[in-house]
């Protein structure tokens, strides 16, 4: 027997074996069991998610000799013929190669004849969006009022190109992209049955590269078997797919923080020598930065980041603002990489851009030049880094004292993401270098560790002292946010009063029945802007 590729050999033959489309399957099963049959179905979704497979199973359910059922027997002549692809009343049309109106008219003329052996004559039109406008127009009437013995099943990867007049005549089902977990588990089952040895992590890499397509995953698995020789390992799959080792990405972020541009370029050239796909590497780098950013605001969530020492270290080393900047640079780099002379040049440029725009590093480099000190190492803990920063700053500026005006202090600090927390806190006490603050109980969601750490860091930088912050949740009377709102309201009233006294405004009101809209009044700032 000749070899059959996995995608064909393991193509589902009934609804029970179809993976990843539970919602669509449930709807079709219910309709079949209740014999509430529609005359036209439209399956949409990306390649390899099961559109054509669903259409064939549905055709089998319509024509099974044991009756219309969601569980076709699979052994009668109709079911066997559909599986083999030679059922006379199942007509599969590739719209990509049959786009002309004459071909569609011929198809529709033949549809008027009764089925030869089946219960229904089923037309499966794949890639239906490729039909011409005239071809769509030719099938509209038949789609709306087809003969009782006709069922249309349309499939497309681009439903936006299908006319709304056609869409409105069909029962539509949008097939989802499959999750990495479902693809991986399905590959596990298939390879176990095929008695092929594999590593679980290798299947995860294949599932990830398949990007939601089961057919692509099975094709990649065939390729992996051929590449690795009946034993699919993580290393072999990585080599085959040109997937970057996560350690490369982590190393890149550390080299950026250490201002080691030469070593950064060496990493890029080493990846290129190993035939790693540099364009997709930028996608993986963006995902890593995203993971670290999420961890900073949701460290208690169930992420892979937990238990990963290096990633946790990076989450402490980089500020949230810096991570967002680097993420944007990487995303733009992915867009621009194909405009570069070659992929390596584009990749290097993106890394150098990340290095050039690393703001924290630039500040620390300047301070280190002023005092002849080394900047804090990225391998230091957050507390150690704060201490080293204080030592540097002690030689650059004088120590400041708190004057008791919390409102002015908050407005003078560079707080970033911690600004919302500081604005909603009421000053309670300051003693022994500890700020005691009260946060409104309605603003409890702002009590996050990274916000508090950022506030402490800003106070340390401002006063050049080891400052601690203690925050209690209770009712508040006055906060910077409340005071700012009151000041703005007062200024707005003064502005409105002054405006109503203006001679020009008075003339407009008296002579032209003009009206002043209070909500449109904005007081000028000190700069007259």
Q: What is the DSSP string of 205-231?
A: HHHHHHTT-HHHHHHHHHHHHHHHTSE
Burial tier of 410 (Cβ tally within 10 Å: 0-12, 13-18, 19+): buried
Compute the distance between CA of residue 68 and CA of residue 307 in angstroms, rounded to an integer.
53
Quote helix, strand, coil % in the chain, to nearest 5: 60, 10, 35
Category of 442 on φ-ψ map: left (φ > 0), alpha (ψ -120 to 50) or beta:
alpha
pLDDT band at 42 (very low <50, low <70, confident <90, very high): very high
Give me the pLDDT at residue 394, please. 46
Does residue 105 contact residue 138 with C-beta atoms inside 8 Å? yes
Give me the pLDDT at residue 521, please. 64
Instruction: Compare 328 and 397 and report the one with higher pLDDT.
Output: 328
Mean pLDDT score across all residues of the chain:
82
| Residue range 97-123, pLDDT digits in tens | 776 778 788 888 888 888 888 899 999
Compute the distance between CA of residue 327 and CA of residue 333 in angstroms, rounded to an integer.
10
Instruction: Compare 416 and 42 and report the one with higher pLDDT.
Output: 42
DSSP per-residue codes, 135-147: HHHHHHHHHHS--
Query: What count of other Cβ atoms lies within 10 Å of the Cβ of residue 7?
Result: 16
Both tokens assigned to 295: 């961890």
Whether residue 404 has pLDDT greater than 90: no
| Cα 204 versus chain centre, distance | 18
pLDDT band at 29 (very low <50, low <70, confident <90, very high): very high
Whether residue 361 has pLDDT greater than 50: no
Does residue 523 contact residue 491 with C-beta atoms inside 8 Å? yes
Q: Where are the alpha helices (DSSP H) in 194-319?
A: 200-210, 214-228, 234-241, 246-257, 261-273, 278-297, 309-317
pLDDT band at 398 (very low <50, low <70, confident <90, very high): low
Give me the pLDDT at residue 510, please. 74
Whether residue 201 has pLDDT greater than 90: no
Q: How many residues does the chain have?
A: 529
CA nearest neighbour of 458 among 389, 395, 392, 391: 389
Compute the distance between CA of residue 157 and CA of residue 213 in angstroms, rounded to an integer.
12
Q: What is the DSSP letter of 114?
A: P
| Residue range 454-492, pLDDT digits in tens | 888 888 888 888 888 998 888 888 888 888 888 888 888
Instruction: Compare 514 and 379 and report the one with higher pLDDT.
Output: 514
Whether residue 320 has pLDDT greater than 90: no
Compute the distance between CA of residue 512 and CA of residue 192 in angstroms, rounded to an integer.
86
Give me the pLDDT at residue 1, please. 46
Q: Where are the alpha helices (DSSP H) in 85-128?
A: 101-110
Give me the pLDDT at residue 328, please. 92
Give me the pLDDT at residue 299, please. 66
pLDDT band at 397 (very low <50, low <70, confident <90, very high): very low
Compute the distance between CA of residue 377 and CA of residue 365 in angstroms, rounded to an integer.
12
Give me the pLDDT at residue 111, please. 81
Give me the pLDDT at residue 300, please. 56
Give me the pLDDT at residue 518, please. 64
Query: What count of other Cβ atoms lies within 10 Å of the Cβ of residue 462?
Result: 17
Give me the pLDDT at residue 520, please. 64
CA nearest neighbour of 439 among 453, 454, 450, 428: 428
Give me the pLDDT at residue 387, please. 56
Whether residue 303 has pLDDT greater than 80: no
**Helix or strand holding residue 28 (H, E):** helix 22-33
Range picked from 175-179, 388-392, 441-445 for highest mean pLDDT: 175-179
Compute the distance between CA of residue 205 and CA of residue 473 in angstroms, rounded to an integer.
46
Instruction: Compare 111 and 434 and report the one with higher pLDDT.
Output: 434
Give me the pLDDT at residue 44, please. 93
Give me the pLDDT at residue 491, please. 84
Angle at 303 between CA 298 and CA 309, to 5 degrees: 95
Q: Where are the alpha helices (DSSP H) in 357-448?
A: 359-371, 382-394, 406-412, 419-423
Both tokens assigned to 192: 């176990």
Angle at 129 between CA 127 and CA 131, to 5 degrees: 95
Query: What count of other Cβ atoms lies within 10 Å of the Cβ of residue 213?
Result: 21
Whether residue 529 has pLDDT greater than 70: no
């Amino acid at each position: 027997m000749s070899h059959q590729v996995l995608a064909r050999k393991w193509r589902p033959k009934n609804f029970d074996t179809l993976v990843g489309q539970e919602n669509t399957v449930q709807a079709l099963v219910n309709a079949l069991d209740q014999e509430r049959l529609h005359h036209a179905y439209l399956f949409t979704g990306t390649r390899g998610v099961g559109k054509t497979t669903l259409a064939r199973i549905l055709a089998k359910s319509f024509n099974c000799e044991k009756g219309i059922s969601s569980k076709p027997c699979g052994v009668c002549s109709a079911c066997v013929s559909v599986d083999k692809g030679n059922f006379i009343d199942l007509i599969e049309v590739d719209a990509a190669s049959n786009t002309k109106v004459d071909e569609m008219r011929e198809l529709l003329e033949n549809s008027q004849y009764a089925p030869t052996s089946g219960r229904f004559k089923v037309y499966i039109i794949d890639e239906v969006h490729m039909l011409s406008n005239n071809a769509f127009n030719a099938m509209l009437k038949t789609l709306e009022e087809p003969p009782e013995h006709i069922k249309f099943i349309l499939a497309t990867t681009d439903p936006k190109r299908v006319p709304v007049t056609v869409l409105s005549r069909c029962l539509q089902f949008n097939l989802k992209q499959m999750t990495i977990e479902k693809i991986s588990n399905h590959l596990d089952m298939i390879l176990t049955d095929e008695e092929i040895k594999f590593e679980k992590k290798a299947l995860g890499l294949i599932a990830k590269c398949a990007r939601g397509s089961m057919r692509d995953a099975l094709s990649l698995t065939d390729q992996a078997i051929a590449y690795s020789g009946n034993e699919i390992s993580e290393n072999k799959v990585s080599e085959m797919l040109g997937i970057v080792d996560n350690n490369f990405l982590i190393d890149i972020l550390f080299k950026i923080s250490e201002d080691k541009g030469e070593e950064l370029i060496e990493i890029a050239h080493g990846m290129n020598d190993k035939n790693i796909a540099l364009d997709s590497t930028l996608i993986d780098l963006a995902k890593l930065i995203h993971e670290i950013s999420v961890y900073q605001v949701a460290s208690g969530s169930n992420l892979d980041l937990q238990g990963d020492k290096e990633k946790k270290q990076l989450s402490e080393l980089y500020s949230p603002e810096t991570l967002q900047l680097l993420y944007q640079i990487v995303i733009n780099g992915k867009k621009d990489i194909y405009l570069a002379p070659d992929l390596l040049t584009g990749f290097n440029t993106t890394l150098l851009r990340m290095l050039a725009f690393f703001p924290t590093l630039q500040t620390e480099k300047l301070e280190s030049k002023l005092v002849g000190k080394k900047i804090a190492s990225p391998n230091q803990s957050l507390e150690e880094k704060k201490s080293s920063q204080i030592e540097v700053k002690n030689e650059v500026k004088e120590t400041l004292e708190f004057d008791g005006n919390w409102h002015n202090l908050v407005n003078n600090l560079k707080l970033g993401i911690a600004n919302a927390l500081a604005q909603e806190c009421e000053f309670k006490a300051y003693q022994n270098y500890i700020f005691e603050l009260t946060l409104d109980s309605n603003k409890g969601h702002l009590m996050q560790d990274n916000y508090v750490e950022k506030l402490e860091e800003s106070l340390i930088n401002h006063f050049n002292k080891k400052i601690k912050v203690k925050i209690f949740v209770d009712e508040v009377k006055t906060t910077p946010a409340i005071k700012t709102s009151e000041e703005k309201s007062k200024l707005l009233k003064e502005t409105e009063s002054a405006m109503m006294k203006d001679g020009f405004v008075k003339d407009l009101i008296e002579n032209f029945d003009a009206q002043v809209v209070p909500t449109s009044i904005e007081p000028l700032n000190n700069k007259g802007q």
